[in-house]
Amino acid sequence: MSAVQREIVTPAEARDALLSQVDDRLRGLLAAETSRWSAVDPRAAVPVEAVAALIASGGKRLRPAFCLSGFLSAGGDPAWEPVAVDAAAALEFLHAFALLHDDVLDDSPLRRGETTAHERHASVHRAAGWAGEPRRFGEGVAALAGDLAHIYADRLVSALAPAAREIWHELRTEVIIGQYLDIRVAAERIADPELSRWIAICKSGRYTVHRPLVLGASIAGRQDLTPAFTRYGAALGEAFQLRDDLIDAFGDSAVSGKPTGLDFSQQKMTLLVTLAMRRDDRVSRVLAGQSGDGAGDGATLAQIVTDLNVRGEVERRIDHLVEQAQAAIAAAPLDLEWRDELARVAVETAYRQK
């Protein structure tokens, strides 16, 4: 897209035009890999197809969108658009990697309304009556498919300059450490609101909003936007995660495509639960596992959170965080049209249904 054209399209149109290039990039790379490995043996393409199935199952493409918004709002040179598109596609592959491994860690049966990879391949194994353990096979396929998505993500950031590459490494390292702390805190039933808040912000907020925006701006050579995007990303990232918790707790599985109440049954220390803890000691007692029965505890937790109407409190906190994000962007050295667009995106992200 030339600079001339960019003047006559809205920021959202410009971003969506590049987002469709991101989808082409994802599909193109996967199609090439599928045909390449199928030529060796039809079976060899199975891990590639597992990645392709997840990518094709939709998703909000939030991270690519924030990366491209960071690039375009920073006035990125059209000559660098292919690099920005590849980086945005890399973020989507990285997300596929994180989801494939995360669904095994959480033993989640459903993702984007479809059976998760480890469940699907365990069923294939079971139905075919293959040798060995269906669970190990299914989880193995999901692990390898995730590793492959991770490799594809890296392939697409080859052209990044050192500063942008550092953001990339930082982003994915944080996600892994956050994932570990997430399962560790759930296992130990640690009721530490501050640690849990850090985990939620590290593995979800920064990864979804802050780092992709800063990455896009860095590709455009605008390190000066880092402070504003960091404030915007920190606030919106937390709002994003709080909404995620509400969708998990009270959402409609048919809309979200994810099981409802999974965080409760796994006693995840979500931001929602940390807020409930501050209001009622029973939450800590349940999380400390006084009743040993996980499922029972999950139900109790859901009931307490509902009784306390923490939901209303969380909605108010989301409102406050959206205002913070909008204030940060209003003060940013960006074109007026992009400040308006990012303010609109904050609302769209914080009040989404799925």
Residues that bind a second copy (CB under 8 A): 33, 37, 40-41, 43-44, 46-47, 97, 101, 104-105, 107, 125, 128, 130-132, 136-137, 139-141, 143-144, 146-148, 150-151, 154-155, 158, 162, 165, 169, 172-173, 176-177, 179-181, 183-189, 195, 198, 266-267, 289, 294
What Å distances lie between residue 328 and 32, 212, 234, 333, 350, CA to CA? 42, 17, 10, 10, 16
Shortest Cβ 280–a second copy spacing (Å) = 20
Quickly list H helices, 41-157.
46-56, 62-73, 81-105, 117-128, 134-155
Task: Residue 103: name the closest of 29, 171, 50 by CA.
Answer: 50
Q: Smallest distance from the beta carbon of 180 to a second copy, in angstroms?
A: 5
Q: How many helices (H) and strands (E) does the chain have?
A: 18, 2
Nearer to a second copy, 23 or 49 (CB): 49
Tell me the sheet residues that pair with 114.
111
- Going by C-alpha positions, the residue among 108, 84, 81, 111 that lies closest to residue 96 is 111
Instruction: Please list, in sequence order, all residues whose beta carbon lies within 8 angstroms of the beta carbon of residue 100, skipping any fewer than 6 positions away.
Output: 50, 51, 54, 117, 142, 143, 145, 146, 149
| Residue 105 or 299 having the CB closest to a second copy | 105
CB 264 within 8 Å of CB 249? yes
Closest CB to a second copy among residues 32, 331 = 32
How near is the Cβ of 138 to a second copy at its closest, in Å?
A: 10
**Cβ 12 to a second copy, closest distance in Å?**
33
Judged by beta carbon, residue 51 or residue 72, the one nearer a second copy is 51
Cα 116 to chain centroid, rounded: 16
Residue 181, both tokens: 């702390």
The nearer residue to a second copy, 293 or 307, going by C-beta atoms, is 293
Minimum CB separation of residue 257 from a second copy in Å reads 23
Within 10 angstroms of residue 295's Cβ, the number of other Cβ atoms is: 10
Q: Which is nearer to a second copy, 185 or 329 (by Cβ)?
A: 185
